[in-house]
Chain A
Amino acid sequence: MDLAALLVTPFARLTELGGLLLVIPLMLPVVGLLLAPLLRGRWLGGGLLGRFTLLLLLLGLVAALAVATAVLTGDEALKYYLGGWLPPLGVALKADGLSAIMLLLSAVVILAVGVYAQREFQVPPDASETRASLVFWMLLMGVWAGLNAAFLGQDLFTLFVALELLTFSAVPLVALDGRAETLAAALRYLLFALLGSVLYLLGAVLFYGTYATLDITLLAERISGEPALPPAVIAAAALMTVGLLAKTALFPLHLWLPPAHAGAPPPASAILSALVVKASFFLILRLWFDVMPGALTPMTAQILGGLGAGAILFGNLVALRQARLKLLIAYSTVAQIGYLFLIFPLAARAESAALTGGMLQVVAHALAKAAMFMAAGLIAKALGHDRVRDLGGCVRVLPLTLLAFGLAGLSLIGLQPSGGYLTKTLLTAAADGTGQGWLGLVIQVGGLLTAAYLFWVFGHVLFGVPSTPAMPIKPPGRAQELVVLALALGALLLGLVPPALFDLVEVGRAGLEASAAVATAMAGAFGWSKLWGDVWPLLVVGLLVLGMLPWPDRPAGGSPRPATTSLSVTGHWAADLGTLLEPADRGLRQWPVAGLSLLILLLALAAAISTGA
């Protein structure tokens, strides 16, 4: 039996549904959302609602697999018109290859989070029912509905509603534990996200005013027929892009991300970092690759790519300075978002590699980051804190969790055969091929900096003063550890997936060679010289970082030691850099400063778009 047949058989019945299949991923979360208040309470040891949600998530995974199979084997996008009304009067749903990948990814990650959260959000047997045990599952379903609608919507206004549903579900997730600092983080997230969505809406309004439709396919037809973009459309494109950038938290608009992602409960952080920021990125892709494919001028692409490069360098450097594990991971997300925007300057002449690399980055980062946040959650639960400096000895307590954390880290660094490796290879090759070698350099430096903060964490874990208790305060559940490990392995082994499956990227768009690009990138991955070439810089970074660590035979002193007690040369460098970077980060995350950068970005983008018009 060949590969295609093997894929098709289990889903033959489902794929016969055709476009109707697209309704299932939208319906399942809404069913869960509506039934949740009925299923709360103490049934099944307080875990009935969690189990029911898990069932819906499994069904959702099957539906997503069926959509992906139908799209891949049918080699064309699935379409569904609500009520049988064609656009511009009706509203269309469409799953092309990119939507299918995102649907599948969100089903997998949310399922993993659902398994992880069973323990955390069941009604405790000996205490009164908490609000979180109901609200978490409802919000999870809300996020899932918003994500699926954003991936399937084919109408700018539907996408607006999807984004809002996503934001309104994601924001309360941040504040689930009700502490003042998470409430402030949630409010800050909500207000900045609202600014983003209102700018997006303004852009959509201008599109409607110019072309009298909001349907993406019709808009693309009408825009491609124009000799030059009208001013209203230039303004609309700039407004929508900046609004979505604010929601994606691309540097320098990241003021809300670190406190929100670090303050949320671990399963929520995993969803926020892995999926929620990707939805608005996905809409940016839709805007520039589907709505106005010809309008991506070199200047616009350079601005977006430059911001991405800035995010990689800045986010990774600030991550190095974080004292708390969850904040470190949150800043790592700021950096990893940057890779997604490198695809814009590469897309003009190397679209296959850029788009495939971008989607791989979305998938690999989602899996790895969800694993890392949940691993950090287990560490914080077991030790009672997540201060990096006091992690010494925790490898004895949580070997499996730390293994998962490390494996996920390997994917972020970009070692073979991880998804991160494929992303970096594809993007670097595209950068060299299009004469933009500096982008390749940024990618390499970003990988090394990522390695540096992971070495920093593991240095403390392995060589730090064993200050942690020998027994965990609250031992992690076996299922929790396994699901984290599974996600990490998924990210690490993404490169070993048969290249033919990557053809999913190109369904619904012409002229892409995704599987060929991936096969080329994987072909040389395991040669000795290649492996050594990738590993020795990491070893150098590792030695430098280990030089910064305070050694265990030194007196431990009080628990919160200032950063400058590590007396090595590299330690001083890091401290100097930190005094420079931390005020910069604090400054950039002030509202007026972030607002000013948003306005400057808006004007710059508008100017850049009009240069090619």
Chain B
Amino acid sequence: MNDPTLFGLCGAALVGLGLYGLLCQPGALRKILAFNLIGSGVFLLFGVIALRGGGVLAAAGRGIDGDPVPQALIITGLVVAFAATSIAVALLLRLAETSGRTTLENEAPPAPSLPGERASRPDGES
């Protein structure tokens, strides 16, 4: 098995694991981690594409051993994923502080008494 295939399969496995975690794990922190797994899988796949493209360029005698465009895009993607993770963690921390909840299930216990009139109603968003 050559390198691109191996890394490509690893990327696919990461995406699959992450997808399972994001959809089936009840805990919000686990969902956030699972999103990062998917992200890593996608970036790995993109890296494989850079490697493969670089292989084509090297075979054509262009003296390059990696397609630089995906690498630039991966870095941007990492920044975006980092920002996403920090927003999600910040929201989760605040949620845990305010109500003690750390899951996103629909049948959550109603939040303790809240300021303002628009308090939670069981037939509402619940």
**Chain A residues within 8 Å of B, Cβ to Cβ:** 157, 160-161, 164, 167-168, 171-172, 175, 177-181, 183-188, 190-191, 194-195, 198, 201-202, 205, 208-209, 212, 258-259, 262-263, 322-324, 327, 380, 384-386, 586, 589-592, 594-596, 598-599
Task: For B94, list chain A residues within 8 Å (CB).
Answer: 175, 178, 183
> Are A190 and B88 closer than 8 Å at their CB atoms?
yes
Interface size in chain B (residues, C-beta < 8 A): 53
> Are A201 and B42 closer than 8 Å at their CB atoms?
yes
Residue from B73, B118, B120, B125 having most chain A Cβ neighbours under 10 A: B125
Q: What are 16 A-to-B residue pairs whose CB atoms are below 8 Å?
A: A175-B91, A175-B94, A179-B111, A180-B95, A184-B101, A185-B125, A187-B95, A194-B35, A198-B38, A201-B42, A208-B69, A208-B70, A323-B123, A385-B118, A595-B23, A595-B24
- Complex Cα distance, B73 from A212, in Å, reads 13
Task: For A177, list chain B residues within 8 Å (CB).
Answer: 116
Closest 5 CB pairs of A and B: A595-B23, A180-B99, A259-B125, A209-B49, A180-B111
> Are B125 and A591 closer than 8 Å at their CB atoms?
no
> Are B35 and A198 closer than 8 Å at their CB atoms?
yes
Task: For A596, list chain B residues within 8 Å (CB).
Answer: 23
- Complex Cα distance, B22 from A208, in Å, reads 26
- Complex Cα distance, B98 from A179, in Å, reads 7
Task: For B10, list chain A residues within 8 Å (CB).
Answer: none
Say yes or no: A187-B92 contact (C-beta < 8 A), given A171-B87, A385-B117, A592-B23. Answer: yes
A205 → B minimal CB distance (Å): 5
**Chain B residues within 8 Å of A, Cβ to Cβ:** 15, 19, 22-24, 26, 28, 31-32, 35, 38-39, 42, 45-46, 49, 52-53, 67, 69-70, 73, 76-77, 80, 83-84, 87-88, 91-92, 94-95, 98-99, 101, 104-106, 108, 111-112, 114-118, 120-121, 123-126
> Are B83 and A168 closer than 8 Å at their CB atoms?
yes
- Complex Cα distance, B121 from A322, in Å, reads 11
B83 → A minimal CB distance (Å): 6
Task: For B104, list chain A residues within 8 Å (CB).
Answer: 184, 187-188, 191, 591
> Are B22 and A191 closer than 8 Å at their CB atoms?
yes
> Are A161 and B76 closer than 8 Å at their CB atoms?
yes
- Partner of B24 from the list A181, A259, A589, A592 (CB cut-off 8 Å) is A592
A85 → B minimal CB distance (Å): 13
- Partner of A171 from the list B22, B91, B92, B118 (CB cut-off 8 Å) is B91
- Partner of B106 from the list A175, A324, A380, A586 (CB cut-off 8 Å) is A586
- Complex Cα distance, B35 from A198, in Å, reads 8
Task: For A180, list chain B residues within 8 Å (CB).
Answer: 95, 98-99, 101, 111-112, 114
> Are A263 and B125 closer than 8 Å at their CB atoms?
yes
- Partner of B53 from the list A161, A212, A599 (CB cut-off 8 Å) is A212
Task: For A323, list chain B residues within 8 Å (CB).
Answer: 121, 123-124
- Complex Cα distance, B83 from A168, in Å, reads 8
> Are B125 and A202 closer than 8 Å at their CB atoms?
no
- Partner of B124 from the list A160, A202, A327 (CB cut-off 8 Å) is A327
Task: For B52, list chain A residues within 8 Å (CB).
Answer: 209
- Complex Cα distance, B101 from A550, in Å, reads 38
> Are B23 and A591 closer than 8 Å at their CB atoms?
yes
B4 → A minimal CB distance (Å): 10
B93 → A minimal CB distance (Å): 10
- Partner of A262 from the list B31, B45, B77, B125 (CB cut-off 8 Å) is B125
A139 → B minimal CB distance (Å): 12
> Are A190 and B80 closer than 8 Å at their CB atoms?
no
A171 → B minimal CB distance (Å): 6
Closest to A586 in B: B106
- Complex Cα distance, B87 from A167, in Å, reads 11
> Are A198 and B92 closer than 8 Å at their CB atoms?
no
B41 → A minimal CB distance (Å): 8
A169 → B minimal CB distance (Å): 10
Residue from A157, A180, A385 having most chain B Cβ neighbours under 10 A: A180
> Are B91 and A183 closer than 8 Å at their CB atoms?
yes
> Are A190 and B124 closer than 8 Å at their CB atoms?
no
Task: For A161, list chain B residues within 8 Å (CB).
Answer: 76, 80
Residue from A181, A209, A327 having most chain B Cβ neighbours under 10 A: A181
Closest to B112 in A: A180
> Are B76 and A202 closer than 8 Å at their CB atoms?
no
- Complex Cα distance, B39 from A263, in Å, reads 29
Say yes or no: A157-B76 contact (C-beta < 8 A), given A168-B84, A385-B117. Answer: yes
B79 → A minimal CB distance (Å): 9
- Complex Cα distance, B49 from A179, in Å, reads 44
Task: For A185, list chain B residues within 8 Å (CB).
Answer: 125
Task: For A194, list chain B residues within 8 Å (CB).
Answer: 35, 84, 88
Closest to A324 in B: B124
- Complex Cα distance, B28 from A181, in Å, reads 14
> Are A181 and B125 closer than 8 Å at their CB atoms?
yes
> Are A589 and B118 closer than 8 Å at their CB atoms?
no
Task: For A209, list chain B residues within 8 Å (CB).
Answer: 45, 49, 52
